[in-house]
Structure 1
Amino acid sequence: MDVPPTVQDEQAVSRQLHSLSVRNLAHLAAALTQLGFELSRSSDPGTRQAANAFIGQLANINQDIDRQIELLSALDADNVGFRLLDEVQYPDAPE
């Protein structure tokens, strides 16, 4: 006989789902930012300019992701059982 999930179980699953979603968004933003830095090394001035604008837009997206992580932490997301963040080092942008 199946036992219906409790409210706490549903909340834990919801927190885990939100945490995974934010983590995936953070990984996607990191990959796109890395792509932007690679494109900023192009010899084509138009590509470099577009890459720099792209990196700026991703900085705004990353700020929103950081806010989501803070909100999840407020929901005690540490009890979900995995890390929300992976530290990523970006290369310096060429001048």
Structure 2
Amino acid sequence: MLNEQEQKNIKARLRRIAGQINGIEKMVEDRRYCVDTLQQIMAARSALNQVALIILESHTKSCVVTAIQENRTEESVKELMDVLSKFAK
């Protein structure tokens, strides 16, 4: 579960990412150089990955730890590994 500061941080990051996406859309409309557009896409993907890592860290420190303390280790680790597997694709 995200704490209030993490939530504010993520919301700010997501607003910046939304701005990047809007900028990419404008680059496409303006028929900007393909490599420049691709670089902006890679930057937006990287920023989104960073948001995912923040959420993953928070989940691990809160939900996974709680599950382990409640003797639900196997199901919690399986869920975490499933998410990491999808994230790595």
What TM-score do you get using the length of structure 2 for normalisation? 0.54
Counterpart check, 1:33 vs 2:58: no
Q: Where in structure 2 are the equivalents of 1:1-95 lying within 5 Å?
A: 15-44=3-32, 46=33, 48-74=34-60, 75=62
**How many residues are treated as equivalent by the alignment?**
61
Q: Is the 8 A contact 1:40 1:49 kept in 2?
A: no
Identity %: 5
Ranges in structure 2 where 5+ consecutive residues have no aligned partner: 64-89
* RMSD over aligned Cα atoms: 2.2
What are the superposed Cα offsets for residues 28-80 of structure 1, whole Å, 9 maximum, x if unpaired?
11221221122122234x2x43122111121012111111112223436xxxx
Task: Work out which structure has the larger RCO, using CA pairs closer than 8 Å and 6 or more positions apart in sequence.
Answer: 1
| Greater gyration radius | 1
Q: Is the 8 A contact 1:25 1:65 kept in 2?
A: yes
Ranges in structure 1 where 5+ consecutive residues have no aligned partner: 1-13, 77-95
2-side partners of 1:38 and 1:52: how far apart? 13
